[in-house]
Structure 1
Amino acid sequence: MMHRIRHRRLLTVLIAFAVVLAFSACAPKARPPIGQLDTPEHHTYTGIKLLNQGKYTDAQREFELALQLNAKFSSAHTGMGLVKAQQGDLKAGFEAMKSAKKYANTNEEKTALYAGLIRLHTMNAAREKKWLDDAKDAFDDAILVDPKADAPYFFMGKAYKQALEFAPAGQMFAKVLELKGEYAGPADAEWKPVQKIQRAMPGTITGKKIAVVERITRADAAALFMEELKIDGLYGKRTLKSFDTSFKDPAKAKEAAAKGPKTAADIADHPLKADIEGLLAIGVRGLEPYPDGSFRPNEIVDRASFAMMVEDILIKATGDNALATKFIGNTSPFPDLRADLAYFNAVMVVTSRGLMEVKDAGTGEFAPLNPVPGVDGLLVIRKMKEQLKF
């Protein structure tokens, strides 16, 4: 009897040992390093740098090399999750973050994980209504671990900016600058435009969305003039009404009324169609339809064109037609702007009134062909409203 019991115990031990061996054989073996810098830490550090540069394929290779050396290296899983998300696979990104959380032991690994989660939730904004709350939760977890880690503050600032909540975004970027860490430079670059947006004080959701655009389009310009400047109300108060009492052929009048509002051939499905049609009905120089009947809503607006639009609005709002020729014949104060160019007078009008500024204070260049950032367009409109007392 005792012999049988011993035999069974021995068999159980042998089976358990065989199972362990089987699992060990199936588990991926760590790749031996082939140099001093062939470490999980170095590959992950390089991967994060490449990730922040937008080089996602190269970053993925570095994270894979890190995980080959140590499959439980948390920060490499975090980096892999961010790569997957940037490549459009958010589900795989969040799965990788689960592995990162499982293996996170140090405070540095944990803050990297939570900063990564803030980034993922921000990328998930279009799919998840509560994405900002999820990002805030990850941020709260991060600062509980290490309140002096700057990455969570930086990426929470980016999240608030995407949510169009500029005041808390500015506070986050300011905190990063105070900490003087790795993200101080990027935070400074983000903080300055946020401050400009706060000065511009966009009053509409459309205005806030355009504020973060790096280059406004013709459609954006139409929306700014209609929604932020409220050009229809401005013209209604500032221009004299005229009445055409001449005889009108009833048939032609009926035909004209049937045509409906002025429009363009290529704006039927554009989200800013109403603003564009409103502006076409009013008429602003530089935002007219093209000869082929198109509006070209996605065409980028340069600084010279924007100056001409602003000049036209000023002339109509003030009734001062002399503005149109006020600086013709003057010498150009700008090294990159000839006095015989069609937009020279407009540039002089807007700069002499302080509505637009030179692009480079050191050289005095106006940069007429440079694009107009959304926040700059908003600042011009704010200054116009102050000068026109509207």
Structure 2
Amino acid sequence: MMKFARLLICLILAAFVLAGCGKQPRKPQAMLDTPQHHVEVGLAKLDKGAPHQAQASFDTALELDPEYGPALAGKGIALAAIGDWDSARDYVDDGLGEAEGDGQELFANVAAIRAATWAARNGELSGEDLLDDSEDAWNEGMELVEDNRELDPAALNYYRGEACLQALNLDCSEAMFSRVISATPANPQYAERAEARWRAVQMIRRAALKTSVGVRIALTEQITRADMAALLVEELDIGRFYEKTAPAGSEYMDARTADPTATLEITDIANHPLRADIEAVTSYGVRGLQPFHGGLFKPDVPLSKAEGAMILEDIIVRASGDDSLATRYIGRESPFVDVRPDQPYFNAVMLVTTRGLLATNARQGRFDPLAPLSGAEAALAVSALKTELNAW
């Protein structure tokens, strides 16, 4: 009996020793070395599209306080963005469980919506489940806001709107973004972003896109070469304009194609989800979307407005069968302060702007040729072009 008692005491002491040897919270090294600050840095990294760096910031916050709710929930967002949905859910749940006060609990509900949205983008969550999960988190967050009027629901509404957009529910997203915009006073951190997304929804509605692929591409802030290929194939049915027409003259071709002699097999799209659309546009020889030297298509390279104009120009020329359109504006003065008549995309810019396919900044007399071409701009242009071409 005495031996058993001594053994029990030893085990208890050993347990205390092991507990004392566990990793202890790190002491702050500077004034801004706080969990709150590192969470703010992590959120900024997420906004810049750097989830791995964001995760590192949240981990730094957890070194200082392993039970800090916003750091746990924030890490959940980063993990979801990286593609680890299972771990992401656990961290978001832990963040909600460790939340101290209504503010941190609201933060965790927003994190739940953001993490689920990333999971849907990565194909780990269906659109239907995303709508359900984000609605649950939104309802919980709104209950907090109704009970505590000092809480700002801007982030909750904005990210619920993003979740609805990801699930292609335009009515829901429009309503959420409208809440952010019309709030009094409006939160400047989210009001401008919500207005931009609200406008994108309106553009998508006007574009009357017929496929979910088209709608999803229209939601992107900057369209890629692969995205444009999909828009042209899925929404415009571009093949009907190219299969019966010959390419324009060599002078026109040499001025606008990435590699006019490229006949190599494309080597960088084998596992790309839009491979079929890319192969279609390259087989048609759509200028501006031809392979580069070495057989590379570079599907994820973003397009500028000038590049988009040249692609649209080629479609107009081929569909109309009028090669003179390729040089119609050469030698004329430019109405834009940022597009010179000697630039290779001058004629294309003039052709598409006179037809209203791409917008200009009329007040400043600018076209912004090097600005990113957004998915909404491209979708509207393709929709307008479809209407024009159907009349020919």
Question: Could you say which TM-score interval applies, normalised by the shorter chain?
Answer: 0.7 to 0.9
The secondary structure found in structure 1 opposite 2:155 is: helix
Q: In the alignment, which residue of structure 1 is the partner of 2:232?
A: 225
User: Alpha-carbon deviation of 1:269?
Assistant: 4.4
Aligned AA (1:127) = E
Identity %: 36
Shift, 1:366, TM fit: 2.4
State yes or no: 1:94 paired with 2:89: yes
Native 8 Å contact 1:229 1:381 kept in 2: yes
1:102 & 1:215 partners in 2: Cα distance?
37
Shift of 1:332: 1.6
Structure 1 residues 110 and 315 mapped into 2: Cα distance closer, same or farther (>3 Å)?
Answer: same
Alignment match, 2:115: 120
The answer to whether the Cα contact below 8 Å between 2:36 and 2:61 also exists between their aligned partners in 1 is no
Q: C-alpha displacement at 1:193, in angstroms?
A: 2.7
The residue that corresponds to 2:260 in the other structure is none
The farther-off stretch of 31-40 and 331-340 is 31-40
Aligned 1:126-165 pairs, distance under 5 A: 126-129=123-126, 130-147=129-146, 149-165=153-169
Q: State the AA in 1 paired with 2:358.
A: M
CA distance in 1, matches of 2:34, 2:370: 48
Distance in 2, matches of 1:379 and 1:323, equals 22
Partner amino acid, structure 1, of 2:218: A
Give the corresponding residue for 2:304. Answer: 302
**What displacement does 1:204 show?**
1.1
Q: How far apart are residue 383 of structure 1 and its match?
A: 1.4
RMSD: 3.8
| TM-score (structure 1 length as normaliser) | 0.73
Q: Say whether the 8 Å CA contact 2:305–2:371 is kept in structure 1.
A: yes
- Deviation per CA, 1:147-199, whole angstroms, max 9, x where unpaired? 56222211111112222333322221111222323533432343333332333
Residue of structure 1 in register with 2:288 after alignment:
286
Which residue in 2 is equivalent to 1:166? 170
**SS at the partner of 2:339?**
coil
Q: How much has 1:31 moved relative to structure 2? A: 8.1
Give the CA deviation at 1:380. Answer: 0.7
Question: Does structure 2 retain, via aligned residues, the 8 Å contact 1:280–1:288?
Answer: yes
Evaluate the alpha carbon distance shift between residue 212 and residue 263 of structure 1 in structure 2; reply closer, same or farther with a 3 A threshold.
Answer: farther
Asked if the contact 2:225/2:301 (under 8 Å) is kept, the reply is yes
Deviation of 1:330 (Å): 0.9
What pairs with 1:209-288 in structure 2 (closer than 5 Å)? 209-233=216-240, 264-266=265-267, 267-288=269-290
8 A Cα contact 1:63 1:79, kept in partner:
no
Asked if the contact 1:303/1:371 (under 8 Å) is kept, the reply is yes
- Residue 124 of structure 1: SS of its match in structure 2? helix
Shift of 1:379: 1.0
The one-letter code matched in structure 2 to 1:284 is: V
Write out per-residue CA displacement over residues 11-40 of structure 1, whole angstroms, 9 at most, x where no aligned residue: 9xxx9xx99x959x7599888989998876
1:211 to 1:138, Cα distance in 2 relative to 1, 3 A: same
Assess if the C-alpha contact under 8 Å between 1:315 and 1:321 holds in 2.
yes
Distance in 2 between the 1:77 and 1:299 partners?
34
| Offset at residue 279 of structure 1 (A) | 3.1
1:47–1:235 Cα change, 3 Å: closer
Structure 1 pair 64/186, CA: closer, same or farther in 2 (3 Å)?
farther
Does the CA contact (< 8 Å) of 1:216 and 1:373 recur in 2?
Answer: yes
1:163 is matched by which residue type in structure 2? Answer: A
> Matches of 1:274 and 1:30 in 2, distance apart?
53
* Structure 2 spans left out of the alignment, 5+ residues: 147-151, 247-262
| Bigger shift: residues 330-339 or 183-192 | 183-192
Distance 2:280 2:29 in 1: 67
CA distance in 1, matches of 2:69, 2:299: 46
Matched, 1:190 2:184: no
CA distance in structure 1 between the aligned counterparts of 2:25 and 2:323, rounded to whole angstroms: 78
Is the 2:83–2:119 Cα contact (8 Å) retained in structure 1?
no
Q: Which residue of 2 aligns with 1:340?
A: 342
Is the CA contact (8 Å cut-off) linking 1:115 and 1:155 kept in structure 2?
Answer: yes
- Report deviation, 1:354: 1.3
> Residue 26 of structure 2 contacts residue 63 of structure 2 at CA under 8 Å; is this kept in 1?
no
Contact 1:101 1:113 in 2 (8 A): yes
Once residues 387 and 328 of structure 1 are traced to their aligned partners in structure 2, the CA distance between those partners, rounded to angstroms, is 23
Q: Give how far 1:121 is off.
A: 1.6
Q: Distance in 1 between matches of 2:215 and 2:242?
A: 24
For the pair 1:208 / 2:205, whether they are aligned, the reply is no
Q: Indicate whether 1:379 and 2:380 are aligned.
A: yes
| Conservation of the 8 A alpha-carbon contact between 1:47 and 1:63 | no
3-state SS, counterpart of residue 183 of structure 1: helix
The 3-state SS of whatever aligns with 1:335 is coil
The aligned residue for residue 106 of structure 1 is: 101
* Shift in CA distance, 224/84, structure 1 to aligned 2, threshold 3 Å: closer
CA distance in 2, matches of 1:62, 1:128: 28
Cα 1:62–1:160 shift into 2, 3 Å: same
- Cα deviation, residue 312, structure 1: 2.5
Paired residues in the alignment total 347
CA contact 2:264–2:294 (8 Å) conserved in 1: no
Q: Which amino acid aligns with 1:384?
A: L
